[in-house]
Amino acid sequence: MARKQLSNFLVVLLFASLFPVPVQASDQIGNQTSGYQMTDQMTPVKLAPGAINRIHCSEPIQNINAPHGLHMEVEYQGNDAFVTLGRNAKQGVVYVITKSGDVFSLEIIPKNGLKARVIRLESPTHKARENLLKFAGLDKETAAVDLIRNAFVDTIPENFNVISKDQKIDGIEHLRIRLRRIVAIDGVPLRLNEYLVSIAPSADMKEMMVDETSFLVPKLTRNPTAICLGRDLAHFTGGKVLLRAGKTVRLFIVEHSPN
């Protein structure tokens, strides 16, 4: 899809800075294997004594502080640390420290009979830095257009946060609007809201002409950066679309969202 085919987007540029410097403090922990995520609490992890387990982080691991009761042996290799608990290990808390200074707190629970595990730790500050690098060379309009393009074809990067929704929005007369999902980006103050738009059954209308500016209302957005209305990448509306009863179009609104 050539970039010029997306040039009909209505783009509203904001005066606020799009790419601020990310904060350095972080204590979130995510285990991609089991899918849990913690914030201000210890993350319990069961490990088998004697097994060689791997701790993987999104950036180099500098050190692991562990109590003597775990009898832990550690071998460091870049973003990985291979840890082995002693046969008589007792439960204790370890602190995994990354090169940038992020600290992950893990409550290690020795348990016999388990297989070796891979523990994946996601550093939010590292994630934010990656996103900043990805968007740093783009102007506001291009960044918003790229985000809409990714959402249109469902090629949203894995490190973006996608929140599924099914929320009815009563914002415009004669239209049925449902919030389908929200896409947020750590470290970048952009948020995309995707809506499904159709003629409301109660409207008793066979067709209705709408344009993108009709959706710039407070119930849908307060800080718009870009808006796009279309069915798919091959059928953009040029800002307007003739809605027909029983048919749905997709509406994308990119907002400036303080991170």
Domains and their CATH numbers in the chain? 3-22+138-256 (no CATH), 29-122 (2.60.40)
pLDDT interval class at 240 (50, 70, 90)? confident
> Of 133 and 20, which is predicted with more confidence?
133
Kindly tell me if the per-residue pLDDT of 136 is higher than 90.
Answer: no
Predicted pLDDT at 160: 81
Band of the pLDDT at 56, cuts 50, 70, 90?
very high
How much is the average pLDDT of 228-242? 70
Q: Per-residue pLDDT averaged across 76-95, rounded?
A: 95
Q: What is the structure's pLDDT at 7?
A: 42
Provide the token pair at 43. 């993350």
- Asked if residue 226 lies in contact with residue 239, where contact means CB atoms within 8 angstroms, the answer is no
pTM over 0.85: no
